[in-house]
Copies of this chain bind each other. A is one copy, B any other.
Amino acid sequence: QRHILHELEQLREQPAKTADGYAVRLSANIEWAEELRLLRKHGASGVGLFRSEYLFLNRAEPPSEDSQADVYGSVARELAPEPVVIRTLDVGGDRILPSEQTSNELNPFLGWRAIRFCLDRPDIFRPQLRAILRASRHGNVRIMYPMVCCTKELKAANRMLEKCKDELRDEGVEFDENIPVGVMIEIPSAALCAELFAPHVDFFSLGTNDLIQYTLAVDRVNDHVSHLYEPTHLAILKLLQYVVEAGHKNDIWVSICGEMAGDPVLAPLLIGLGIDELSVTPILAPMIKDVIRKLKYSDARELAQKCMQYRSPVTVRRRCRELTREIAGEVLELLD
């Protein structure tokens, strides 16, 4: 095992490119600026998901615009020219801001979360948008909205962003005028209507954990039903395929930042479906990179086409596992 780990660490400086030369972007999900050193250690390129809510959760009041701008700016500077995708505040659900009343929602996962909360609370959303914009001059910063279910929300968020840009211009504060904006695709309606979002964004990022939960109506931390949580359900594969098609038809980059992306068994399937970027927990990056480098893109395409034909999620997973075992059995050894 130590031998395998050592081998994987040697990949740090190698590109995430398949054996037949197809480039995949392999980035990292982080929660704290302090995790940036893990990116270098494990050889991930840039941050595909910076979960900004952790700046908010362990303090009595929301952080000021200035202190947010400092954190985002330092991350941007350290990573430049690699990108950092900052997700706007994703609270609600199982993460309640200390400054808010507990919500007493019957079903918080179907409730006042993320962009829904932020659009209703410009006192919290505006300072964050301004802080991200201010940080953008220090590097390659991108903004991403979570939990968008309709274009009305997406347009409202973009209007708020434009207003913040206007303010900063008036104040003479520099920022990246072309800061890319993306939307998380993690609600079934967003996946089903991705083409309606395309004119309003520069990239899609599939949040598969939530997408699977909603598509199957399964809370995966509920022991009574977690056995129904199936990343390889045909419904999920259809949604992923649809989002990639809608994205690429509109020149939109498609990333995945859910746990699926960091599963060495599923990565070939995702690449075969046309996903452009896998954003994973830093520690998983070496394994995923190893799989990518030993994979042929043509085999990944074939695998994806086959998997779209299977009726059972178990068959899909088995076929995926066979391919990973064949090309990178040592990774499965590490995991088992």
Chain A interfacial positions (CB closer than 8 Å to B): 94, 105-112, 116, 120, 147, 149-151, 153, 187-190, 192-193, 196, 210, 213-219, 221-222, 224-225, 228, 230, 233-236, 238-239, 311-313
Asked if A192 and B110 make an inter-chain contact with CB atoms under 8 angstroms apart, the answer reads no
- Among B120, B222, B228, B235, the residue within 8 A (CB) of A106 is B222
The count of identical subunits is 2
Residues of B within 8 A of A222 (CB): 105-107, 110-112
The answer to whether B230 touches A215 (Cβ under 8 A) is no
Closest 8 CB pairs of A and B: A189-B235, A112-B224, A110-B219, A192-B235, A188-B188, A187-B217, A107-B109, A107-B219
Q: How far, in Å, is A225 (CB) from chain B's closest CB?
A: 6
Q: CB within 8 A of A112: which of B225, B233, B234?
A: B225
Structural contact, A110 and B225, CB atoms closer than 8 A? yes
Q: Which B residue's beta carbon lies closest to that of A212?
A: B189
| A192 CB contacts on chain B under 8 angstroms | 215, 234-235, 238-239
Q: Across the two chains, which residue of chain B brings its CB closest to A313? A: B150
By beta carbon, the residue of chain B nearest A223 is: B112
* B216 A116 Cβ-Cβ under 8 A: no
CB distance from A334 to the nearest CB of B (A): 30
CA distance in complex: A222, B111 (Å)? 7
Residue of B147, B150, B216 near A149 (CB, 8 A) is B216
Closest chain B residue to A189, Cβ basis: B235
Cross-chain contact A213 with B120 (CB below 8 angstroms): no
Closest-CB distance, A195 to chain B (whole angstroms): 9
Look across to chain B and name the residue whose beta carbon is closest to the beta carbon of A186: B217
Complex-state Cα separation, A149 to B229, whole angstroms: 10
Check B112–A235 contact: CB distance below 8 A.
no
Query: A313–B193 Cα gap in the complex (Å)?
Result: 12
Give, as a whole number of angstroms, the nearest-CB distance from A278 to chain B: 23
Which residues does chain B contribute within 8 Å of A193, judged by CB atoms?
Answer: 233-235, 238
B residues in contact with A214, CB < 8 Å:
110, 188, 214-215, 217
